[in-house]
Amino acid sequence: MDYDERRERLAERLRYELNLSQRVYNAMKNVPRHIFVPERYKIEAYSDTPLPIGFGQTISAPHMVAIMCELLDLREGDKVLEVGTGCGYHAAVVAELVGKSGRVISVEYIPELAEMAKANLSALGYDNVYVVVGDGSKGYPPEAPYDKIYVTASAPDVPQPLVEQLKPGGRMVIPVGEHAQWLIILEKDKKGNIRKKNWGSVRFVPLRGEYGFKSVRY
């Protein structure tokens, strides 16, 4: 079975199990996850599981990428902030959803992973993704405000800089908690009022940075 067939089977399974929208289904089917996975794990690229990518980090399980994309309600032309680039896979799926008229600004704490992600995204022609090295828990003020924000690591609480950089009418998806983690959907209305909803239990690596967990060691 080749990679294309494996990817299509995974996308079909996710569509059935998660009742995916056509747009998210298409994005999951279009992004070649095996390109983002280290060589030793490529055989598992289309298993629905997280995989190590080095530096104590993982590439998220495809089902969680799809769920977060659905919860964000990504639209063509959205400007999106991603906190935690990793290997670039999640950013590529989001880039498919926001289209050429949209932008994904992704902040990665670990320089080596940022370089890996840039190489992966460049090889696949995702020129609407901009990867920067920095403390993503502080957001990325030069490009703020953002239509949507999502975080790929668990924070002790929702970092205030991210709330401030979210546009009125925008939405954020972020895992919160250490031992017990919850996926929080945060919405900011047109007047700037904040509403939070708890989607459910999840498991992510810890967020690093000023507003992340201070005791993380790698």
Residue 153 domain-assigned? yes
What pLDDT is attached to residue 122? Answer: 97
Residue 170, domain CATH: 3.40.50.150
Residue 59 domain-assigned? yes
- The active-site residue out of 21, 47, 60, 215 is 60
> Among candidates 132, 144, 152, 127, which has minimal Cα distance to 208?
152
Q: Which pair of structure tokens corresponds to residue 193?
A: 């009022």
What pLDDT is attached to residue 1? Answer: 55
What pLDDT is attached to residue 178? Answer: 85
This prediction's pTM: 0.95
CB neighbour class for 6 (10 Å; exposed up to 12, middle 13-18, buried from 19)? middle
By residue range, what is the domain housing residue 138?
3-202
Neighbours of 157 (CB within 10 A): 10
Amino acid occupying residue 66:
A
Tens of pLDDT, residues 172-217: 999 999 889 999 999 999 999 999 999 999 999 999 988 887 644 3
Tens of pLDDT, residues 110-145: 999 999 999 999 999 999 999 999 999 999 999 999
Residue 210 domain-assigned? no
Q: Which pair of structure tokens corresponds to residue 124?
A: 């696949």
> Residue 68: which H helix or E strand, with range?
helix 62-72
Tens of pLDDT, residues 18-53: 999 999 999 999 999 999 999 999 999 999 999 999
Residue 56 domain-assigned? yes
Span 62-67, mean pLDDT? 98
**Rounded CA gap, 153 and 125, in Å?**
26
Residue 211 domain-assigned? no
Residue 110 domain-assigned? yes
Write the CA distances from 80 to 8, 41, 54, 199, integer angstroms.
Answer: 26, 29, 25, 20
In contact, 85 and 32? CB cutoff 8 Å: no
Please confirm, yes or no, whether 101 is among the known catalytic residues: no
**Rounded CA gap, 43 and 9, in Å?**
15
Residue 107 domain-assigned? yes
What pLDDT is attached to residue 214? Answer: 62
What pLDDT is attached to residue 216? Answer: 42
CA 98 from centroid of its chain's CA atoms:
13
What pLDDT is attached to residue 212? Answer: 83
* Total domains, the chain: 1
Residue 157 domain-assigned? yes
Residue 70 makes CB contacts below 8 A (sequence gap 6+) with 18, 20, 21, 24
